[in-house]
Structure 1
């Protein structure tokens, strides 16, 4: 199961479920000792009965007298939001994207100050509020494009595209010279469209998100969202994506890319190992799968946004917080999960995984986005809600695709003008 980034208006209903809950921990039998049973909620339905069982056994051996029980949840975001509203959501869980930063203290135990926890772990600002950190990332992701090297080679492409125009030209070669679908949107499943927003650091500016919350025209010519959303629009407009986006399927797409029926998809680096496995299943090899930086350079250099995946947090309702915290630290430091999944280590001194060797060869520089200033931690979420432009969701990009394929009125210029006005109005109203 893939990590699914879902936020903004796409999940406002789930957020509403959380808003009415009371804060504070329940009466606890927590002794402060690492012992007893904990329940861990996970979205990894695919490996909960295999890999995760091995993790539990290792943890229980390291901490005699403990027991780890897992609950795998397929519809993680919506189902966990419902459970949180009832107050029954395990001891350790992946912090849902529906939880705003201001809600973190309501549902999760503080792990330490951002400054202190940041001495050990990366990405701690992503699940922090008022100087306190509430989660530790399972793994980190770089952002780029996963692709089938054999298809690109068969089309005669030897160099990485460095501009959106070059990328479109390469997709055209794939369309003309191979039987592969040049680009697959995964429109129907929706959540893969959110992956386009993850590439904010391609500009080489770590302050891109902080500039966004004061911008009155994020879709103006040359701005990050104009570059990325413009490329998605042009891919569809030029007939370089699947013929009928309403029939796409995520699970099938992995097999299609692995086998060479699909050439490329914009996805986080978490997808690489899944595509490699699909390639092997289809009779190919892991080496058939490559990972390229987004086709955009600044002064001849590629940049890739790096950020944490889902964060493990401790429920305020947990009655065994000591064991829950021990599990979080053990999982991040000892389990090997990040490396096995091809992700960046959540540890400050962690190594870059081998699956990102393509980025190393291309000289890609990794950038973590600068966190929002104190007092403005929730401003982007507020603007998203007010504007109803779900930057990390799928609704507005689905409309973008509909316009590009002629299923909705308008064109790129008119839609970007509409988005700019909605965003500017929202900035004024919540600023």
Structure 2
């Protein structure tokens, strides 16, 4: 599973962790500041980098600095669900990507505190993602811009010379791709499910609002025209409704879709910029060029200016139950500061003094401005996820958007306006209960 989770502090409604995990405090002899020794197991969603030996190479480099530490890796398929289950016990490795289903208020229950957030925020980006009450519990592995990955050759063949900046232009462009090429204009990856939530990464970009998450949490009717979530879900619905997506969504395939986009058989997919390097590799494997793969902002603008959010991917934390916490801390620090992970994956470095990756030059060339989601106000760190859970709407899952697609393609009863009204009703009831 070579996917990434949208790095926002949110949890799917029906998948919130009802956690009974035990907490334990590390002894002085087993603290993150001790001498790095022993064996650690790193749990990761990047199964592709485990299977192709990339992580093994990282471990070899790490051992040049820390010869007394043995690093083992476990690639976990269906990462979110698998780790959510394991967190109810004590066997969840030494270092692991913190799953989205862990609320900020639950971080201390499962992860070792790394220190004060103020000690990290000067050096690292995205610290708010793994922080609660002024304490840091993880360091983000890297960041991504959010938008749409596309095949330049397909768009050029369709005669498109200017990337879309509105939904109307977007739909018109997809219609050109459908009529002038053999490519599927937009691929949703409906069957795999998780790609349907990737549009959530653009929350805030549509309205140039770094505080979009908290504003959505407090809005009793967010699925109303003019909001970020309305634009995100409308784009999906209208693209499907106009038959500009794969003909059989029940048979989509994530790994296969990478090859198809790289080979020019798919025009675009809504994914974070982390996907660019994977699509480039797929293009080369298909006999095409890595340069065929481009990245564009969500088709929206504020007074003529387009924006793209720049947010963190998974943060890596240390298990409260680790018996080698100093070694675990050494690995996290080395991985984020010394490895070429973010560079090789085309991601934004967690280190504030590092330059942006080459794969984002397309955004800068188009005049797109990057914005970073703001930290939620104190006491409201998990408000968006709390409201989503209460409303039973899996913002970062796949259930409600699969239904949205089903309505759009005529496989389920309803209309866009009717479904949005239903979502607003559920959301409004949750807001009345939780927002004071």
TM-score, normalised via structure 2 length: 0.95
Structure 1 residue 10 displacement after superposition: 4.9
1:33 aligns with 2:35: yes
CA distance in 1, matches of 2:194, 2:342: 22
Q: Report how far residue 231 of structure 1 moved.
A: 1.3
For the Cα contact (< 8 Å) 2:40–2:72, is it kept in 1? yes
Q: Any conservation in 2 of the 1:188–1:246 contact (CA below 8 Å)?
A: yes
Pairing partner for 1:47 from 27, 46, 49:
49
Q: Is residue 200 of structure 1 aligned with residue 214 of structure 2?
A: no
Any conservation in 2 of the 1:10–1:394 contact (CA below 8 Å)?
no
1:189 match: secondary structure = coil
Matched, 1:418 2:422: yes
Match of 2:123 in 1: 120
Structure 2, gaps ≥5 residues long: none
Single out whichever of 340-349 and 69-78 deviates more from structure 2.
69-78
CA contact (8 A) 1:93 1:313 kept: yes
Q: 1:126-205, aligned counterparts within 5 Å?
A: 126-202=129-205, 203-205=207-209
Contact 2:13 2:385 in 1 (8 A): no
Match of 1:241 among 227, 245, 248: 245
Give the Cα separation in 2 of the matches to 1:132 and 1:110: 7
Question: C-alpha distance in 1, partners of 2:390/2:55?
Answer: 40
Answer yes or no: is 1:66 the counterpart of 2:63: no
Which sits farther off after the overlay, 42-51 or 419-428? Answer: 42-51
Q: Which residue matches 1:227?
A: 231
Tell me the distance in 2 between the aligned counterparts of 1:228 and 1:79. Answer: 28
CA distance in 2, matches of 1:370, 1:26: 32
Instruction: Tell me which of 374, 377, 383 is aligned to 1:373.
Output: 377
Q: How many residues align?
A: 427
- Aligned partners of 1:10 and 1:232: how far apart in 2? 22
RMSD value over aligned CA atoms? 1.4
Q: Structure 1 residues 183-192 or 79-88, which shifts more?
A: 79-88
Q: Which runs of 5+ in 1 are unaligned?
A: none
User: Within 2, Cα distance between the matches of 1:96 and 1:221?
Assistant: 31
2:23 corresponds in structure 1 to 23
CA displacement at 1:380 relative to structure 2: 1.0
CA distance in 1, matches of 2:254, 2:165: 27
Q: 2:43·2:95 contact (CA, 8 Å) conserved in 1?
A: yes
The answer to whether residue 4 in structure 2 is matched with residue 3 in structure 1 is yes
Write the distance in 1 (CA, Å) between the matches of 2:47 and 2:231. 35
Q: TM-score, normalised by structure 1?
A: 0.96
